[in-house]
């Protein structure tokens, strides 16, 4: 089934030359290993880098197809499998592979984390098929067509996207509108009533816009207030949607919650993307953005600030929400271990700069 899928999806996107033997994209052994990994897709130590190699760079498409099968979403929503493959292929191709961090592998990683959160006992029994569909779709597309630079860079260079979205949630708005464009171009939802497809597009927007890091305190305060008042009612669609927003925010920044070997790779990738932006700013005589100066902002210092001001506060509340669950206990353990590792690396390095909370939030 994996081999059939690979052949079909690549051919649909016109990526395979029609030459003898060209359909053998992946060695059977690699496909077998990929299938074995998918059988354990709900485990927190899932190695998305290995999975991406085994699937020849098709980790996002293969993961989404598998999860849609797990939840029987194709049957439930009467989706056309060809249109689904076309849409997923478009999303994967619209990520910029040259970005060290904001690429299709990051999207696949966030999607796998989202699946783990959807499986949380506190949440799993309450979710409708639409909730699951929205959660997975938003995770897969949340950073599509990311340019590899942040919003302040787009604003100060007077990028057309900053003008289009009036300097507010510029990237997130673009990710959402790009997703809607691909949904319509692929015709994935064209068989649904107009009001239903419109509602799906709007809810996807609400989820993707929630990943704007500048709105972190807004969502965190609301989440904390709900938990303090014990008034979350997951039988209410609006409350389930809010928890999906929080789950996506958690999945988007969960790298420090992974095992050190995976977490460190993500940290180095995101800092490399920051440094590339800093090099661009230096080249064009612009003020170098916070966290983007490779000479002043070391990876350990950036990561310690990110964990302290963004990750820990969010996951402490998620920990409360899950009661806590075994997965939440595992993630909190990794956060503390990884932060200690970065502290040790900082102590052993020559650069010991400090990062203010505002700089951490702005830069990420």
Please identify every residue annotated as catalytic.
102
Q: Which long-range contacts (CB under 8 A, 24 or more apart) does 239-243 make?
A: 240/126, 240/127, 240/128, 240/131, 241/131, 241/134, 241/203, 241/206, 241/207, 243/123, 243/321
Residue 105 assigned to a binding site: yes
Q: Say whether 303 counts as a known binding-site residue.
A: yes
26: region left, alpha or beta (phi > 0 left; psi from -120 to 50 alpha): beta
The candidate with the shortest Cα–Cα distance to 325, out of 92, 76, 122, 56, is: 122
Q: Specify the 3-state DSSP secondary structure of 20.
A: coil
What does the alpha-carbon distance between residue 309 and residue 306 come to, in Å, rounded to a whole number? 6
Of 81, 80, 60, 66, which is closest to residue 139 (Cα–Cα)?
A: 60
> Comparing C-alpha atoms, which of 284, 295, 300 is closest to residue 149?
284
Asked whether 253 and 216 are in contact (CB, 8 A), the reply is: no
Written as six digits, the tokens of 347 are 């102590």
With beta carbons less than 8 A apart as the criterion, state whether 105 and 59 touch.
yes
**Residue 103 marked ligand-binding:** yes
106 is in an annotated binding site: yes
What values do phi and psi take at 128, rounded to 5? -90, 165
Q: Position of tokens 């067509």?
A: 145
Task: Determine whether the annotation assigns residue 109 to a binding site.
Answer: no
Q: Are 347 and 339 in contact (CB under 8 A)?
A: no
Angstrom CA distances, 49 to 21, 36, 107, 143, 295, stand at 27, 15, 12, 18, 28
**Radius of gyration, alpha carbons of the chain:** 20
d(CA 126, CA 175): 28
Binding site as annotated, residues:
102-106, 142-143, 252, 303
Binding site as annotated, residues for AMP:
102-106, 143, 252, 303
Binding site as annotated, residues for Zn(2+):
106, 142-143, 252
């Amino acid at each position: 089934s994996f081999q059939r899928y690979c052949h079909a999806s690549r051919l649909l996107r016109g990526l395979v030359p029609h030459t003898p033997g060209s359909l053998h994209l992946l060695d059977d052994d690699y496909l077998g290993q990929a299938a074995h990994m998918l059988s354990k897709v709900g485990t927190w130590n899932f190695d998305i880098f290995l999975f991406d190699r085994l699937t020849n760079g098709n980790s996002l498409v293969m993961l989404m197809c598998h999860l849609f099968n797990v939840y029987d979403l194709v049957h439930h929503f009467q989706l056309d499998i060809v249109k689904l493959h076309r849409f997923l292929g478009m999303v994967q191709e619209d990520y910029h592979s040259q970005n060290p961090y904001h690429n299709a592998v990051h999207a696949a990683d966030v999607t796998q984390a989202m699946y783990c959160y959807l499986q949380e006992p506190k949440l799993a029994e309450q979710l409708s098929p639409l909730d699951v569909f929205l959660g997975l779709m938003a995770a897969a597309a949340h950073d599509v067509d990311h340019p590899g630079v942040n919003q302040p860079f787009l604003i100060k260079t007077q990028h057309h996207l900053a003008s289009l979205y009036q300097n507010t949630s510029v990237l997130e708005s673009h990710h959402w509108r790009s997703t809607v464009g691909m949904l319509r171009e692929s015709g994935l939802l064209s068989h649904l009533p107009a009001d239903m497809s419109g509602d799906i597009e709007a809810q996807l927007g609400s989820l993707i816009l929630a990943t704007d890091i500048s709105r972190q305190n807004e969502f965190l305060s609301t989440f904390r207030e709900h938990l303090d008042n014990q008034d979350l009612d997951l039988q209410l669609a609006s409350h389930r949607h809010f928890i999906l927003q929080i789950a996506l925010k958690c999945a988007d920044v969960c790298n420090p919650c992974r095992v050190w070997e995976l977490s460190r790779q993500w940290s180095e990738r995101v800092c490399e993307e920051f440094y590339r932006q800093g090099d661009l700013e230096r080249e064009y005589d612009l003020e170098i953005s916070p966290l983007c100066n490779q000479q002043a902002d070391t990876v350990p210092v950036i990561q310690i600030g990110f964990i302290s001001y963004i990750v820990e506060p969010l996951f402490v509340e998620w920990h409360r929400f899950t009661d806590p669950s075994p997965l939440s206990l595992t993630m909190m353990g990794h956060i503390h271990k990884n932060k200690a590792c970065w502290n040790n690396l900082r102590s052993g390095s020559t650069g010991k700069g400090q990062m203010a909370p505002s700089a951490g939030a702005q830069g990420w």
